[in-house]
Structure 1
Amino acid sequence: MRHGIYHEKQVKSLCALHALNNLFQDGKAFKQEDLDLISHNLAPNSWVNPHKSVLGLGNYDINVIMSALQLKNYEAVWFDKRKDPSDLNFAHVFGFILNVPSDCKLGWLALPIKRKHWVAIRNIPSPTEKEAGRHQYYNLDSKFDNPEAIGTDAKLIEYFRDELKSPEKELFLVISAEVGRTESWKRNNSLVPNEGSSSTTPLPSLGNFGVHLSEPSDKEERKGSTDSGVVETLESMDMTVNSDINVVDLDKEDLMRRQSSGVWSDFM
């Protein structure tokens, strides 16, 4: 392991907290109390908060991560797995968060409980690499003993291709608010589905790449790229994603797939 990389280890069910702190390379970026407060603010009138564990162990959902990122002036973009990771402009992506399946255990006993785990991936060049214009991505999974080197862009593309073959895994891009406004995280803003993927007619004014999860104030700034039909469709779904999300670049077929699979409520 290279020295100088901040890496929080797993405690209780606080993987969302660890992923955020590992992403920002700062153990003081967020505390459990911060995420608990965000959870409360997302559902202030709920007896049972849907955004975190009722036992106070963590288990925060995507809404909490989205809100935490917004406090740092960052946003989350859900990656459409029908696209190839090589279509991303890695130079304009701050980092990545993977949502993966996780076993729930009591000691050595595996419990039949469906859980998900948050994993941060980040480009962290050493001073020498930075000076030479080189970089390397690291898997900062809080369940690992140490950060795991992935490699350069080419290796990261291979890694994501392999990981996203699983229908149970989802990828989120973490981008700055400015990158979100310009959509410069895309190599080509007019991307079309890969060959072999199902052909669908995209909704008006929408591309075909992912879901942009952003704070409410951004809705006004992106009126031209947001379709009210998509928002209405999402709001009619039984999802845990907060109604403040701003949706762009999601086609009708994928909306229906997510509605039937309940994939959003799986982001825990």
Structure 2
Amino acid sequence: MERGNRESLSSSPAAAASASSQAQPQPQPQPQGLFLYHERQRLQLCLLHALNNLFQDKDAFTRADLDTIARQLQLHHPPQQKDHKWWILPLPSLVFKPHHNALTGNYDVNVLIAALEGSTHQKKVIWHDRRTPAASIDLAACHLMGIMLNTSVPRLRGFWTSRHWTALRNIRGVWYNLDSDLPAPQPFRHETHLVSFLDNTVAQGGEIFLIFNQD
């Protein structure tokens, strides 16, 4: 199953469909000759999708890569053991790992940082202080690769909420929202729109992480 597709700059977002019934469109060449890689949401693998969308590369990371990182984090920083009643089954501890869900993904910020700051990619992840307006971010900084957001989103028609990873990136002078929940990448028409979007994200309980190149 193909994990992602490339969307033309001229593509317009349509109404979102359920992840299980989404068809993957083929790349449509445009005069500009520029295509955006965009992975769509599957299970709780939003961090995987966000990272590959950030790098614009379907092979930047795999689920096996992130699972390995999560296991290494657990090995080096094991959770404190708590006393359990005898009737509690061990299954939850086999599925809900400290840094991810073994069945569906759902990776935490520690996996994000380890993945980006590891020897393979050597990026720098900086958490943006939520007390500081987004206007303080230098969006034109030459070493700023992109932005990762962690937000709370409703699932199953609002019956429960989960944390969600989203990648934003400037591509040829235009910032794009590469959210895997969107049917296609969405451009921000002006930098002020991006700043307002970031401020609104924080106001709704989201977190901003700035991703910098180190070379």
**Counterparts in 2 of 1:110 and 1:81: CA distance versus 1, 3 Å:** closer
1:51 paired residue number: 99
1:82 paired residue number: 131
Whichever structure has more helix as a proportion of its residues is 1
Q: Provide, for residues 55-78 of structure 1, a one-character-per-residue CA deviation record: whole Å limited to 9, x for no partner.
A: x21100000010110131112111
RMSD (Å) for aligned C-alpha atoms:
1.8
1:103 paired residue number: 154
How many angstroms apart in 2 are the aligned matches of 1:21 and 1:118? 12
How many angstroms apart in 2 are the aligned matches of 1:50 and 1:151? 39
Q: Kindly indicate whether the alpha-carbon contact (under 8 Å) linking 1:10 and 1:18 is maintained by their aligned counterparts in 2.
A: yes
How many angstroms apart in 2 are the aligned matches of 1:117 and 1:88? 22
2:52 paired residue number: 21
Q: Kindly indicate whether the alpha-carbon contact (under 8 Å) linking 2:151 and 2:201 is maintained by their aligned counterparts in 1.
A: no
2:111 counterpart of 1:64: yes
How many angstroms apart in 2 are the aligned matches of 1:156 and 1:110? 26
After superposition, residues 110-149 of structure 1 pair within 5 angstroms as 110-112=158-160, 114-125=161-172, 135-149=173-187
**Counterparts in 2 of 1:110 and 1:89: CA distance versus 1, 3 Å:** closer
Q: Provide, for residues 176-215 of structure 1, a one-character-per-residue CA deviation record: whole Å limited to 9, x for no partner.
A: 236xxxxxxxxxxxxxxxxxxxxxxxxxxxxxxxxxxxxx
Q: Kindly indicate whether the alpha-carbon contact (under 8 Å) linking 2:148 and 2:168 is maintained by their aligned counterparts in 1.
A: yes
Q: Which has the higher contact order (CA 8 A, sep 6+)?
A: 2
TM-score by length of 2: 0.70
**2:165 counterpart letter in structure 1:** W
1:172 paired residue number: 209
How many angstroms apart in 1 are the aligned matches of 2:136 and 2:101? 36
TM-score by length of 1: 0.57
What's the secondary structure of 2:41's corresponding residue?
A: coil
Q: Kindly indicate whether the alpha-carbon contact (under 8 Å) linking 1:139 and 1:150 is maintained by their aligned counterparts in 2.
A: yes
Structure 2 runs not aligned, ≥5 long: 1-7, 10-33, 80-92
Shift of 1:110: 4.6
Q: Provide, for residues 236-264 of structure 1, a one-character-per-residue CA deviation record: whole Å limited to 9, x for no partner.
A: xxxxxxxxxxxxxxxxxxxxxxxxxxxxx
2:69 counterpart of 1:38: yes
Q: Kindly indicate whether the alpha-carbon contact (under 8 Å) linking 1:138 and 1:151 is maintained by their aligned counterparts in 2.
A: no
Shift of 1:161: 2.3
Is the deviation greater in 9-18 or in 86-95?
Answer: 86-95
**Counterparts in 2 of 1:110 and 1:88: CA distance versus 1, 3 Å:** closer
Whichever structure has more strand as a proportion of its residues is 2
